[in-house]
Chain A
Amino acid sequence: MANEPLRLRMPVSEEVLRGLTIGQELLLSGTVVTARDMGHKFLVEAFRPDFADLLQGAFVYHCGPIMVREGEGWRVVSAGPTTSNREEPYQAEVIARYRIAGVIGKGGMGEKTSRALQQHGAVYLHAVGGAGTLLARRVRRVREVRMLQEFGVPEAFWVLEVEDFPVVVTMDARGGSLHREVLAASEARRKELLGL
């Protein structure tokens, strides 16, 4: 499925998001907000009105970056994705309540998230795990950080402006999931190899 990456600048309309299909490579520009285990629990435990404007139309990035203080601000040193399936219990609610454009992570997510993507016209984008340096260089600016004291560096909400951030659509708003397809094929091969 070789294809030319599509350049996408946020904010992106729901119509554009609904038009994306699995396998499509993207170069994403705009605001992404990192959130992982503590962040998702925090966003779902109670509705956080002060996060509503920040998250609406933005991508939530499953990432716990390495950050270094530089003067008054911060520099991103390494910032690849973390495994997404840990957020499966929370993700659908985050999508519904905060109206995010979608999620960036790795490893894909389950059926509950897939249904939420369909319902709200959002997508799941996959970044290359372990490509920390390469992805950090696509961060143009660290806009702000929230809950740093409470959560620590990897778990805090980092608001990042990214430019041409390379991702692949692996779960779309039409119910498609590359992960479901690969899993089914792998399961068939597993049974064949083991004679089950």
Chain B
Amino acid sequence: MDPLVNWALELIRKTSTDLSPDVERWLRRAREEEAEGGTAWNVLDAMIRNVEMSREAGTPICQDTGLTTFFVQVPRGTDPEAIREALQQAIRLATQEGSLRPNSVHPITGKNTGDNLGVDLPHIEFEPSPDDGLVIDLLLKGGGSENTGAQYRLPDAGLKAGRDLEGVYRCVVDAVHHAQGHGCAPGILGVCIGGDRAGGYAGAKRQLLRPLDDTNPDPALAELEERLIRDCNRLGVGPMGFGGRTTVLAVKVGWKHRHPASFFVSIAYSCWADRHRRLEVRNGVGKVF
């Protein structure tokens, strides 16, 4: 068997069962913010215990293992189709063993393919690798959080939102309010300013791959991120929407050039279980981070 299948299978397992350390750290920090023994504290505590149990048992953190989205950096001379086939094979195996729930459903008949494969599933975005390394990022994002994503078109009179960063701020606060607990708060938000409708959502999702403790290289956006975290948490939605201090764990904002007539603000809402991991293949050896 292609060794890439094994490494990809390991990537899927780890993404589904072992939450990345930065997200876990942020959850622990959020628990400290709440009153011990109160409902918000208990909810965060259950999340953290669940993360620990899932890691130990090797079982999925959440039964909704989402749709599989891969971001692949392909080295020169490597056939992307071979990578696609290996990823498909790994998904088939991961589904059989229960690391993934079968989530690929025909949109009209409702028939489940049973193996997580289908039209545009897995969704793979290829780009050239800057060096000889093959890098594969996997994002598993559940349906409940995906449903709470939103796209705004500025200006928006109802929100008094113009075509500027203040307008962007207003859209995000509004989206977090409307999400309430439905996307499994506390959420992690990926935001994309600009692009077209499709590119905006794709760009927003990509923001979810950023480490939670990084700082936006653009100082204006870094400031916007901080302001959004602070003010979204003032909404009081709280963990699972029960009320509390932590409504979002992080906000990450990026941008794309836009058409002069269009100003989209696209928001990808990730549940607290922001599951993403990276596989790097260098010098013939694969390693999952």
Interface residues of chain A, those whose CB is within 8 Å of chain B, are 1-2, 23, 25, 38, 63-68, 77-80, 82-83, 85, 106-108, 126, 128-137, 151-155, 166, 168, 170, 178-179, 181-183, 185-187, 189-190, 193-196
Q: List 18 A-B contacts (CB under 8 A).
A: A1-B39, A2-B39, A64-B63, A77-B60, A77-B98, A80-B62, A83-B182, A129-B240, A134-B46, A137-B53, A151-B112, A153-B102, A168-B242, A182-B243, A185-B243, A186-B180, A193-B235, A194-B159
Known A131-B47, A133-B50; contact A182-B237, beta-carbon cutoff 8 A: yes
Known A128-B47, A129-B271; contact A66-B101, beta-carbon cutoff 8 A: yes
Majority-rule SS of B interface residues: loop
Q: A195 vs B273: C-alpha distance in the bound complex, in angstroms?
A: 32
Q: Pick the contact of B64 from A82, A152, A153, A196 — CB < 8 Å?
A: A82
List 7 tightest A-B contacts by C-beta distance, closest first: A152-B112, A78-B63, A129-B184, A83-B144, A134-B50, A131-B50, A2-B37
Q: Is the beta-carbon distance between A194 and B144 smaller than 8 angstroms?
A: no
Binds A, one of B170-178, B209-217, B252-260: B170-178
Q: Assign chain B's interface to a size class.
A: 35 or more
Q: Which residues of B lie under 8 Å from residue A137 when comparing CB positions?
A: 53
Chain B residue nearest to A194 in the complex (CB) = B170
Q: Which residues of B lie under 8 Å from residue A80 when comparing CB positions?
A: 62-64
Q: A132-B50, A136-B63 are in contact. List 11 more A-B contacts (CB 8 A).
A: A1-B39, A67-B98, A129-B240, A129-B271, A130-B61, A131-B49, A132-B63, A134-B53, A154-B112, A190-B235, A194-B159
Among B110, B147, B160, which residue has the most Cβ atoms of chain A within 10 A?
B110
Q: Is the beta-carbon distance between B39 and A166 smaller than 8 angstroms?
A: no
Q: Which residues of B lie under 8 Å from residue A38 when comparing CB positions?
A: 110
Min CB–CB distance A144 → chain B (angstroms): 19
Q: A80 vs B110: C-alpha distance in the bound complex, in angstroms?
A: 22
Q: Which residues of B lie under 8 Å from residue A1 when comparing CB positions?
A: 38-39
Q: Is the beta-carbon distance between B101 and A153 smaller than 8 angstroms?
A: yes
Q: Pick the contact of A130 from B50, B174, B243 — CB < 8 Å?
A: B50
